[in-house]
Every structure is written in C-alpha cells, then in structure tokens.
Amino acid sequence: MLKALIKVRFISLFKTMFTSSGKQKKYVKVLIALLMVYGFGSICVSVGIMFSSLAVPLSVSDLSWLYFAIAGIAGFCLAFIGSVFSAETQLFEAKDNELLLSMPFSATQILIARMTALMTLNVIFEVLMAVPAGVVYIMNVGIKPLGFILFILSLLSMSFLVMALSCLLGWLLAFILSKVKNRSFIMMFFYILIMAGYFKVYGSINKYIQAIISNGDTIAASIKKALPVFYYLGDASANGNILSFFKFLLICVIPFVLVVFVLSRSYISVMINKKARSHKAYKAGELKTSGAFSALLHKEIKFFLGRPMYIMNAGTGIIFMVVIAVGAVVKQDYFLTAIAGFGIPDTRFVYPYFVIGILTMCVSMVFISAPSISLEGKNLWIVKSIPVPSATVLKAKIASHIVICLPFIVVSSVIMAIFLRMRVDTLLLSFLLPLGVTVFCAVFGVFINLKFPKFDWINEVTVVKQSLSVMLTMLASLILIIMPLFVSSLIVINLFSGYLPPLLFAFFVYTLILSAVFYSVLMKKAEKRFFELQ
Amino acid sequence: MLKIEHLTKKYGDKTAVDDLSLHIAAGEIYGFIGPNGAGKTTTIKSACGIIGFDSGEIYVDGISIRENPIECKKKIAYIPDNPDLYDFLSGIKYLNFIADVYGVSKDERETLIKKYGDMFSITKDLAQPISAYSHGMKQKLALISALIHKPRLMILDEPFVGLDPKAAFTIKQLMRELCDDGGAIFFSTHVLEVAEKLCDKVAIIKDGKLIVSGTMEQVKGDESLESVFLELEEDYA
C-alpha cells in the first residue's frame, strides 16, 4: 500500500510540468529538457567556480575534510531552503489529505509517502551544490574511490536530515498557522527571514571563501566542534573513513525516524484543526459595486495575496526590488565593487544604471500571471460560464500582475530618486524599464499559460513552482530581455560611454513592442483557446 | 427558451452526445435523466457555453450559443454537479463578485442576497470563507449566486445533492416561481421521485442518445418514473 502511495506522489510531482492533456509535442519536450539542462548547467558552473578556489588551498593545508564539509553545508542549506516551505504545503495543505485519511492508510504511511517525494527534490538540490564541488575536487586534487562512494552515500543520507528539520519547521509553521488569522503575514515573515539569511551568506560568499583559505585551521576547529555532523561527512569523503560515515548516517537517520514518529502522532489533528476558525457572524451592510473587469481583477489580487506560497514563489522579485533599492542607498560600496568586477572604469557614472538593471532583473523574476490560468483549477467553470468575454478574463489576469508590481516599482524609484539624486531621465528610466519588463512578463505569462495550462493538480504549490508555463516565462524574460540588456549595456559602456540612457529607453520601447506583439496574438486567439480549456 | 438541435459532442473517438434534440419552453421545468456517463453533464455544459460541440446547434431564447455566447450567458444561471467555488473569498464576497460580473445593481443585490440568504438559512455564515463551508453550504451559496442575477433559464446539474430537506424544498419552490414568471429550468438528477413530482417534462438519455422525452404523463403513463426508467435501461442495454 505504501508503495502505491509513493508511486502516486511521484506521478503527481513529475506530471506537474506537463499540461492537463498529457499530450505534448516533441518540440515542447525538447524545450523542457534544454531548459533544465541550461538551468542545472548554469548553477553547476557557478558553484564549481566558487569551489575551485577552495580545493587546492584546503588540500595543501591538509584540510580536505573541510572542503567536503563546506560542500555538505552548502547542499544542506540549499535543500533546506528549497523544502521548508514545500514541506508545510505538501505535507499539511494537500488537497487529497482528507481523501487519503478516509482510506486504509495510517498517518505514518501518508507522511512517509509525502516525505519521499520531498526528499527526492532535496537530493536534487544537494546535487546542485555537491556534485560540482566533487567534480572540481577530483579535477584539481583527486579522491580515493572509497571516499567518492562515501561522498555520494553521504549526500543521499543527508536528505534524511534535511527532511527531518524542514518537516519539523513545516509542522511548527502549520501549527502556528492553524492558530492565527493572518496566515500570509506569518508565512511571509518566515520567508523573508530565511531569504535574508540566505542572501546575507550569498552576498558575502567571497569574503567567507577568503576567510576559509586564510583561517582554515580555526574554521575547521569551529565546524568540528559546533557541527560535528559535517565533520563526519568531510572525513568520510576526503579520507574514506567508514566509521565517520556511519556516525554521519546515524546523525541523519535518527532525527528523521524521531520526526516521523512524532509527526505521525499529531499529523491528523494538525490537518483537521487547520480548518477550525472563529465564527464571525455576517452583518448585512452596504456592498461595493464594480464592473466585471474590476471584479475579476480584485479576485485575482485577492487570490494572490491570500496565498503565501504564491507570493513567495511568484512574487519574490518585487520584494527584492525594494530591498535592492534600499541596499543601493546604504551599501553603495558593495555595489560599486560589484560594478568594478565587470571591468568598468567609471563606476560612479554607471552606478544608477547598474541598479536599474538589477531592479529590472528582479521584476523579470516575477511570475504572477504565468500560472494564473492553471490556478483556476476546478473553479474554471465559473469564468467560463459568466457572461464576460474570455479576453476580459485574461486581461484581468495580466492587469493583476502589473497592479501588484506597480507599487513596488514606484517605491523603488522614489527611494532611488530621494537618496541617489538621479537626473530626471535616469529617474524616469528607473520607473519605465522595470515597468516595461513587468508588462512583458504579465502578458507573456498569460500567453504561455493559455497554451500550456494544467488544471488537474493536487497542490497549488507545484503549479506555481514547477509548471511549464512558469519555466518558459522565466526563460523568455531571460533570453528576450535580460541577457540582451546586460550584453548591450556592457558594449555601450565600453564603446560609447554616456549613451546608456538612450539604450535603456530603447529597451523600454522594445519591451513594449514585444508585449504588444504577444498581447495581440493572445487577444486574437483568446476566445477560441479559452473556450477549449477543460 | 432552450432549444438543442441535433447536438453531437465527441471526446476523441468516444461520442459523448449523439444527435440529441430537446426543446425546453418558457414556463417549463425539464428533468434530464440518465445513468452515469450517459452524456448529461456534457449536454448541460454545451448548453451553457462552457464547452464546444462538434455539430448541431443550441439556442437560448432564440440566440445561438455558438454565435453569441455572451448574450446567452446573460440569460443563464448554471450550477455544476460539484460546487467548486472560490474558497479564498467569503460567501458574501463571492456573491458580490457574481453580482458585479452580471451587472446587478447595488440595491437589488443587497435585497436579493438578504432574501435568498434567509431562505436558505445561510445569511449568518456569509462572512465566513468558503473554504470553511460544508458541501451543502457551498451548494446553497451556488444556488443564491445563480438566483441573484435573475436568470431566464436555470441549468442545474444535480442541484439537490448535499442540500438539507428545507433547502431542497426551498429550491423546488423557487424553481416553480421562476417558471411561473416565464423562465425555464433544465436540470439533471438521479432522484427520480423528485423529478416525477417537480418536472413538467422529462428526457431520458443513455450512451449519449435520447431514449425518450415528453411530458411526464407521456413518458411514465400510469407507472412510476423509476420503473419506466429501469425498463428503458434494460431495453436499451
């Protein structure tokens, strides 16, 4: 029975990126494969570059174990961040919880089936960090065959520890959320806290690498004392120490078993209690009226704001926008160093444009509209039965994306205008360019989701995080806008310094033209295609 | 009010509805009966403009649903077999959303929400999120949302499922009132006793094909609708 449950979970997990019909053309499958190779490849290369500066110095200092311990810590952190919020939604918020509880499955079986799927994702996250680190080490230093095997086994075992901790935090989150009214706020608070920690570490990664190289012994002693689990991982991998591996294995598996045991006791009650809310009696009052478009727009915005998981996965870019804008003011030196890293001599002159570029990149990572049609799910009948043209329904989805982003774009521009004393044209660009990209992402997201919808999901999080339309929107904004913007800006800075504003204005116009093209195709096909959705 | 002419709908190789013709006149409550998978929901969804069809034509109050779906939808209220509503909205916000979409005036929506909310004993729960509603409460809310824009034609897929006896009685009364005012009701059901008492006309469908249709007397004669249905089921097996 457990096998059947796990099988269903995996089918659900991997089917998410395919459309509802399940029939996809060959080119789409090739596109997905290329997209994945590109995504994985680029992450692996950047991680490899990071670790390449550590391999030889640590090996020479006889601290090879520290190298693998750091790779383990990095993999652990990435997997933990990747799964902590999924754990809350996948374990406690899945739509089939009640169905499964009515079947002859024990709470432990349901829990293990869900955890197995999540652990697979954890291993993928760990692989992203640890494999490039391992390859770099083998290429630069070399590794014993036994050490290599133990490294791989340690990675697999580590997913137990990641799962145990993320489940525990997920359970805590679900428990808190079952008691409070403002779920979105609490979720966002946790999310921002974790992401702030992540970016703090990521932003200082070069500093940490230098610190590790220059103070390897001290850091090694600290890790050995404070995080012995990673010492065992490092020792097993670098020296092929089987005893250390077993110690590592025990430290990973015991918490997992304990968490499964504890969670399975309260699993049912957490799932049932999450619906217990205080009853507020309705008092008839004046109702606000609006037109159909406005009603649809409000519905979209309300849906977005009521789903912390949606905000966290599709709207992170807009939160980062404000953080970057503030950072650009208070951490100018950090940004100036980053600009100098591109070989740009006049960093002061380029500074505001560089920040505008980063802000633009942030909004290009907002995918509110891309899963919006799929998210209609079983409610699709409502928008299909109301007397409103399909085009209006789609326009509301596009508009909601723009309306949600707009305040953040304005706030970022205002912060920069006040503190960076920008020229009028630059100030205008700090507003227009992110706005143009936002419009493009909003239009393209709906355009692509109408082509690749997916309605038979069990958990919304999978549609928002892993669906094909989200991945393609991400790719489109990167290939069509961000990369050309970055490359052409570098060329213009080096060859024609001073001509950045016209280039950025040209890009703003370009984003509008692109948006207009996709919008026009979308509107032409909207009625027919939307009508065919089921 | 609703004219279905030679409707055919296929899903791949399977013909879900095969050359079906029905005519529901104003003032009629028309029952639509058939075993599971007979093609009732497909017919209903086609009539509401939710899904397309391969051949045939559907007219709502003389307007083709294929050519002018928006005008048709303005006259229709549809309730699916499973009331999946926006669970992130409260009951009142959902009703207000529907009222906005159908352009119901402020005064009218306030009056009608109060009226139907009280009739279905759900007014006090309207501030609650729909996610906290039971199946029956969602069904009541879906019925209210269908009634507040004063449809000329109500198309209901299994409307009595999940309703408590009082709500079931209320909706039957409201269906009759709507027909008395010149509207029409087309609904599917498996509750044959209800269909027998409530419907002016009835159609029985099997494997996408119409087996029999007509006034209740024509279809059942002196027998009960249940026995006629079971006999026809066997004859067409």
How far apart CA A39 and CA A28 sit, in angstroms, is 16
Q: Looking at the partner chain, which of A282, A288, A296 has a beta carbon nearest the beta carbon of B124?
A: A282
From B199's Cα to the closest Cα of chain A, the distance in A is 25
Strands (E), chain B: 2-11, 14-24, 29-33, 55-60, 63-64, 76-79, 153-157, 184-188, 201-206, 209-215
How far apart CA A317 and CA A334 sit, in angstroms, is 20
This complex has an ipTM of 0.93
Q: What is the pLDDT of residues A347-382, one digit of tens each?
A: 677 788 888 888 899 999 999 999 999 999 999 999
Say yes or no: B128 contacts chain A, CB-CB below 8 A: yes
Residues of A in contact with B103 (CB under 8 A): 291-292
How far apart CA A329 and CA A148 sit, in angstroms, is 46
Residues of A in contact with B110 (CB under 8 A): 284, 286-287
Q: What is the pLDDT of residues A268-322, one digit of tens each?
A: 776 665 555 566 788 877 889 999 999 999 999 999 988 877 888 888 888 888 8
Q: Which pTM value belongs to this model?
A: 0.78
How far apart CA B42 and CA B51 sit, in angstroms, is 8
| Residue from B51, B89, B100, B121 whose CB has the most chain A CBs within 10 Å, to mutate | B100
Residues of B in contact with A282 (CB under 8 A): 91-92, 123-128
Residue A129 identity: M
Residues 379-418 of A with CB under 8 A from B: 379, 381-382, 384-389
Model pLDDT, residue A183: 66
- Cβ contact B123–A279 (<8 Å): no
| Residue from A97, A182, A289, A297 whose CB has the most chain B CBs within 10 Å, to mutate | A289
Task: Indicate whether A12 pLDDT > 70.
Answer: no
Model pLDDT, residue A54: 84
Q: Looking at the partner chain, which of B48, B78, B123 has a beta carbon nearest the beta carbon of A282?
A: B123
- Cβ contact B82–A378 (<8 Å): yes
From B39's Cα to the closest Cα of chain A, the distance in A is 16
Q: What is the pLDDT of residues A445-494, one digit of tens each?
A: 999 999 989 887 877 877 887 788 998 998 899 999 999 998 888 888 77
Residues of B in contact with A528 (CB under 8 A): none
Give percent above pLDDT 70 in chain A: 88
Angle, helices A145-179/A107-140, rounded to nearest 10 degrees: 140
Q: Looking at the partner chain, which of B50, B72, B88 has a beta carbon nearest the beta carbon of A381?
A: B50
User: Which one-letter DSSP state was computed for residue A375?
Assistant: G
Highest mean pLDDT among A40-44, A326-330, A510-514: A510-514
- Cβ contact B85–A379 (<8 Å): yes
Arithmetic mean of pLDDT, A401-414: 92
From A194's Cα to the closest Cα of chain B, the distance in A is 26
Helix (H) or strand (E) holding A439: helix A424-451
From A414's Cα to the closest Cα of chain B, the distance in A is 33
Residue pair A429/A508 in contact by the 8 Å Cβ criterion: yes
Residues 363-382 of A with CB under 8 A from B: 377-379, 381-382
- Cβ contact B99–A288 (<8 Å): no
Model pLDDT, residue A302: 93
- Cβ contact A287–B99 (<8 Å): yes
From A153's Cα to the closest Cα of chain B, the distance in A is 44
Residue of A nearest to B92 (CA): A282
Residues of B in contact with A295 (CB under 8 A): 96-97, 100-101
Residues of B in contact with A294 (CB under 8 A): 100
Q: Where are the alpha helices (DSSP H) in A306-421?
A: 308-314, 316-330, 332-340, 347-364, 380-385, 390-420
How far apart CA A13 and CA B8 sit, in angstroms, is 36
Name the residue with higher pLDDT: A47 or B93.
B93
Say yes or no: B127 contacts chain A, CB-CB below 8 A: yes
| Residue from A93, A272, A381, A395 whose CB has the most chain B CBs within 10 Å, to mutate | A381
How far apart CA B84 and CA A20 sit, in angstroms, is 18
Smallest CA-to-CA distance from A205 within A364, A77, A346, A362 is with A77
Say yes or no: B84 contacts chain A, CB-CB below 8 A: yes
Q: Looking at the partner chain, which of A279, A288, A306 has a beta carbon nearest the beta carbon of B128?
A: A279
Work out the mean pLDDT of chain A and round it to a whole number: 83
Per-residue pLDDT of chain B (237 residues; tens, 9 = 90+): 999 999 999 998 899 999 999 999 999 999 999 999 899 999 999 999 999 999 999 999 999 999 999 999 999 999 998 889 999 999 999 999 999 999 999 999 999 999 999 999 999 999 999 988 999 999 999 999 999 999 999 999 999 988 899 999 999 999 999 999 999 999 999 888 888 899 999 999 999 999 989 998 888 888 888 888 888 777 776
Residue pair B80/B188 in contact by the 8 Å Cβ criterion: no
Arithmetic mean of pLDDT, A25-43: 75
Say yes or no: B73 contacts chain A, CB-CB below 8 A: yes
